[in-house]
Structure 1
Amino acid sequence: MSVDLQNLTDNARKTSVEVLNALVADGIAVSRALKQAHWNVKGPGFIGFHELLDQVKARIDDGVDNLAERVQQLDGTAISTVQKVAEASTLKPYPTNLVKLDAHAKAVAEILREYGGKLREGIETTDEAGDPNSADILTAASNDVDKDTWFVSSYLG
């Protein structure tokens, strides 16, 4: 059963579903990149960074869940299969040849910055389309990503 969204135009719904689904794909790509780093990082400071990556991933996953649930509220279909995410994500691929902590910290900070920028674009697009609630959900996700970017970047010295 969908939420009563009578005051949203069809364009606002359509725009928000498209924006949200694109960000679901990018968020899932970030989540998998975090696991890549988590499983493969080595070096001084390993355990702290390893544990931080788990915390960051949990926040990314919660944000993605909120985005996907908003798609459902808007009578859309959240798209999240691995195959569709691989097709839809616009983020730069995470390198799979990294081992050293500083290299992972740099790569994770970069992908978080890129995702954060896309979330901010989504805030503007959904708000301009007339869906401030989707913009609010994206704002919450963006705040978490910005904070996590700061945490990860602290490993860069």
Structure 2
Amino acid sequence: MPEAFVSGLNDNTRTKTIDLLNARLSDVISLAMAVKQAHWNLKGRGFIGVHELLDEVADRLRESSDMIAERAVILGGIARGTTEVVAEETTMTAYPVEETDLQAHVAALKERFLDVGAKIRAAAEEADDIGDSDVEDLFIEVSRQIDKDAWFIGANAAQA
């Protein structure tokens, strides 16, 4: 394992935390790609508002994935975020690539946001259990953003 730049954690805790970070990194990257899939392909009444919103949501998910990946590296690990790793490691249900209906995209995204959000919250609890309050805080921050974006998507589409 590469040397950690900043950490008061023992090696066992760092290793567990890095594994936890990488597991959730795959899910957040997968969710960001699902949002872009919807952004590119959705059609229907209210299209432009949802289309533009999804670009912003994808940007925020990429920011979250950066925080997760950078923390893994700070702790002396490797951020595992290539498409090959994400395809193999994500726990998120595959996104329907043939969908075009705006409301169907909203429903598919809502399902995945709820799933990934729950896994992020569980990761926050696990980080607390293994003694890494910084990573717990990071996951709480990501969870709040995922919940907020899920609400934005649902609220915007409800008016479409």
TM-score (ref. length: structure 2): 0.93
The ranges of structure 1 where at least 4 consecutive aligned residues each deviate by more than 6 angstroms after the TM superposition are none
Query: Which residue matches 1:96?
Result: 97
Q: Partners of 1:30 and 1:95 in 2: how far apart?
A: 12
2:62 is paired with a residue whose SS is helix
Query: Which residue matches 1:67?
Result: 68
Q: Partners of 2:61 and 2:153 in 1: how far apart?
A: 14
Deviation at residue 3 of structure 1 after TM alignment: 2.5
What letter matches 1:47 in structure 2? I
Q: Partners of 1:105 and 1:147 in 2: how far apart?
A: 14
Query: Which residue matches 1:40?
Result: 41
Deviations 1:9-63 (A, max 9, x none): 2221111101100111111111111111001000110000001101111111000
Kindly, what percent of the aligned residue pairs are identical?
40
Query: Which residue matches 2:111?
Result: 110
Q: Partners of 1:68 and 1:116 in 2: how far apart?
A: 17
Q: Partners of 2:31 and 2:46 in 1: how far apart?
A: 22
1:87 is paired with a residue whose SS is helix
CA contact (8 A) 2:6 2:75 kept: no
Q: Which runs of 5+ in 2 are unaligned?
A: none
TM-score (ref. length: structure 1): 0.95
Q: How many residues align?
A: 156
1:139 is paired with a residue whose SS is helix
Q: Partners of 1:50 and 1:133 in 2: how far apart?
A: 34
The two structures, once aligned, show a CA RMSD in angstroms of 1.2
Q: Partners of 1:74 and 1:156 in 2: how far apart?
A: 42
Q: Which runs of 5+ in 1 are unaligned?
A: none
Q: Partners of 1:12 and 1:48 in 2: how far apart?
A: 44
Q: Partners of 1:11 and 1:121 in 2: how far apart?
A: 20
2:148 is paired with a residue whose SS is helix
CA contact (8 A) 1:38 1:53 kept: yes
What letter matches 1:119 in structure 2? I
